[in-house]
Amino acid sequence: MNRSRPMRTKARYVLGAILCLVMAGCGGTDSAPSNLAPASEPQAGETRTYHLEGTIISVDKANQSVTVDHKEIPGFMAAMAMPYPVAAAGDPMLDQLAPGDQITADVEADDTGARLRNIIIVKKGEGAK
């Protein structure tokens, strides 16, 4: 009985699996689409902070939130427009923000969502008071 044939078949499967793993690891980060979510989401109780740069689209004082058209946030999300709650309840910064304002801020993200802190107006929008 020839036992080498089953061993060769098994070896081919193992080599094929290794080749697939090696090829999946090649390509670096430049080939990955930038609109994908981060590789690891914040775990329960873990807070991550990211830098945001964008333009205010609207301010919702009643709901303590702002809608921002922002640039890509590396390691977190692609460029997009979306609403963010303002982290500090009653933040007086909401009274200063207006559509068209260019801002920077910290995005705090955890397992409950994302919110803005440390909002800074870089440039007032045209027509803003």
Per-residue pLDDT of the chain (129 residues; tens, 9 = 90+): 555 555 555 555 544 445 444 444 444 444 444 444 444 555 667 899 999 999 999 999 999 999 999 999 999 999 999 999 998 777 788 899 999 999 999 999 998 999 999 999 999 998 555
Task: Please tell me the predicted confidence (pLDDT) of residue 92.
Answer: 83
CB-CB contact of 46 with 110 (8 Å): yes
Task: Please tell me the predicted confidence (pLDDT) of residue 3.
Answer: 56
Task: Report the DSSP pairing between strands 65-70 and 48-60.
Answer: antiparallel
Task: Please tell me the predicted confidence (pLDDT) of residue 68.
Answer: 98
Task: Please tell me the predicted confidence (pLDDT) of residue 63.
Answer: 93
CB-CB contact of 87 with 106 (8 Å): no
Task: Please tell me the predicted confidence (pLDDT) of residue 89.
Answer: 73
Task: Please tell me the predicted confidence (pLDDT) of residue 77.
Answer: 94
Q: 86: helix, coil or strand?
A: strand
**What are the extents of the domains in the chain?**
48-123
Task: Please tell me the predicted confidence (pLDDT) of residue 41.
Answer: 57
Which CATH class for the 48-123 domain?
mainly beta
User: In the chain, how long is the greatest CA-to-CA distance?
Assistant: 90
Task: Please tell me the predicted confidence (pLDDT) of residue 48.
Answer: 94
Closest CA to 81 of 48, 106, 58, 64: 58
Helix/strand/coil percentages in the chain, nearest 5? 20, 35, 45
Task: Please tell me the predicted confidence (pLDDT) of residue 80.
Answer: 97
Query: What pTM was computed for the model?
Result: 0.64
